[in-house]
């Protein structure tokens, strides 16, 4: 077993760099799909755009509006980064690379993602701005609703593997990945995951064409940067969770080490997130809520019910 501090340090290092690197990746990939070049001047392939962006964020005026609630305003961006980073505690990157092997793994992930809502709500409320408040309202209702389906969709995996522990869930996928028996659960989890990270098809809390920038209209400098990084970390987290729960985690043919398999699969899902951003239009707010409660909710219940019934039938046989 590797020393826990090394794992924590390594995970933090890799995650924060991934989140920063995603700025470049997203801009480059979006540009490619839209038939443009994207940032290609600074450094090889425009990679130094990340550095330039970060420097720019640091030197921007770090402004707190006089009408804002100062303490909450400063506190809100930290919540999103903290809650997402906490979620990574339970992600098994490889058989022996996991920060905490909790036996309530999935529940811990759900708990942390439910705390993530606070950053949007508090950020929007503390800004004391109509657009921000509207964004926060949308964000809160969207994230609370989609958390429900997210949890229910995950329960299918829990029923099949008989454990909340992510390491055991990965081990249970040795014969067949859970994407096969849990296709519906995977689709629901994916949709809920996008809504949970408020990424582009569902970026209704920040919808820049209607709400300026939604809940972070008033934010600038590194505080805005925290929301930004939090979003990319969220994308990485959901991708990592999808891989762990439905695509066999670190499992794969032996010619590559487990960590590499995990990274490759996660990268594929991050790319999918970016591709979705490039190709999907944003639904209306009420359509999103209706779709969630009237379609996804019954489907996820049905998924759980059928999975449990089949599992019981198999056990009793």
| Residues of this chain that bind other proteins (CB under 8 A) | 69, 71-72, 102-104, 107-108, 110-112, 114-115, 117-118, 121-122, 124-125, 133, 136-137, 140-141, 144, 147, 151, 164
Q: Contact 30/244 with Cβ under 8 angstroms?
A: no
Of 26 and 147, the one with the shorter C-beta distance to other proteins is 147
Of 151 and 181, the one with the shorter C-beta distance to other proteins is 151
Nearest distance, CB of residue 105 and other proteins, angstroms: 10
Q: Is the Cα torsion angle 60, 62, 65, 68 positive or negative in sign? A: positive
* Contacts (Cβ under 8 Å, ≥6 apart) of 77: 119, 123, 216, 219, 223, 224, 226, 227, 230
Beta-bridge mates of residue 94 = 97
Of 140 and 226, the one with the shorter C-beta distance to other proteins is 140
Of 114 and 271, the one with the shorter C-beta distance to other proteins is 114
Helices within 207-257 (DSSP H only): 208-211, 221-246
Of 8 and 107, the one with the shorter C-beta distance to other proteins is 107
Nearest distance, CB of residue 128 and other proteins, angstroms: 8
Of 133 and 229, the one with the shorter C-beta distance to other proteins is 133
Nearest distance, CB of residue 139 and other proteins, angstroms: 10
Of 38 and 92, the one with the shorter C-beta distance to other proteins is 92
Of 50 and 140, the one with the shorter C-beta distance to other proteins is 140
Of 107 and 251, the one with the shorter C-beta distance to other proteins is 107
DSSP secondary structure string, 79-127?
HHHHHHHHHGGG--SBTTB-S---TTHHHHHHHHHHHTHHHHHHHHHHH
Nearest distance, CB of residue 289 and other proteins, angstroms: 14
Q: How far is CA 94 from CA 4, 45, 101, 105, 256, in A?
A: 14, 31, 12, 15, 12
Nearest distance, CB of residue 130 and other proteins, angstroms: 10
Nearest distance, CB of residue 221 and other proteins, angstroms: 23
Nearest distance, CB of residue 100 and other proteins, angstroms: 11
Nearest distance, CB of residue 285 and other proteins, angstroms: 15
Nearest distance, CB of residue 161 and other proteins, angstroms: 12
Q: Contact 90/169 with Cβ under 8 angstroms?
A: no
């Amino acid at each position: 077993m590797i020393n826990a501090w090394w794992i924590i340090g390594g995970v933090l290092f890799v995650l924060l760099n991934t989140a920063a690197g995603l700025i470049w990746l997203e801009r480059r990939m979006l540009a490619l799909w839209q038939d443009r070049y994207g940032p290609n001047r600074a450094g090889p392939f425009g990679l130094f755009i990340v550095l330039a962006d970060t420097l720019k964020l640091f030197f921007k005026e770090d402004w707190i509006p006089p009408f804002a609630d100062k303490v909450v305003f400063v506190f809100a961006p930290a919540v999103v980064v903290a809650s997402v980073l906490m979620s990574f505690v339970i992600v098994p990157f490889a058989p022996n690379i996991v920060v905490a092997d909790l036996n309530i793994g999935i529940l811990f992930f759900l708990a942390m993602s439910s705390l993530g809502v606070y950053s949007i709500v508090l950020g929007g409320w503390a800004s004391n701005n109509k657009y921000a408040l509207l964004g926060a309202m949308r964000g809160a209702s969207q994230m609370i609703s989609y958390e429900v389906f997210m949890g229910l969709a995950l329960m299918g995996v829990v029923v099949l593997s008989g454990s909340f522990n992510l390491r055991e869930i990965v081990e249970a996928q040795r014969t067949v990945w859970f994407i096969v028996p849990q296709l519906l659960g995977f689709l629901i989890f994916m949709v809920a995951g996008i809504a949970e990270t408020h990424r582009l098809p569902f970026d209704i809390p920040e919808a820049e064409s209607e709400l300026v920038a939604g809940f972070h209209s008033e934010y600038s400098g590194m505080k805005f940067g925290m929301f930004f990084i939090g979003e990319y970390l969220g994308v990485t987290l959901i991708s990592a969770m999808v891989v762990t729960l439905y695509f066999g985690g670190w499992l794969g043919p032996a010619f590559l080490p487990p960590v590499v398999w995990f990274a490759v699969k996660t990268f594929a899902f991050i790319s999918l997130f970016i591709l979705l951003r490039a190709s999907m239009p944003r639904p209306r707010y009420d359509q999103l809520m209706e779709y969630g409660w009237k379609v996804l909710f019954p489907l996820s219940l049905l998924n759980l019910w059928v999975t449990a019934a089949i599992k019981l039938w198999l056990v009793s046989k």
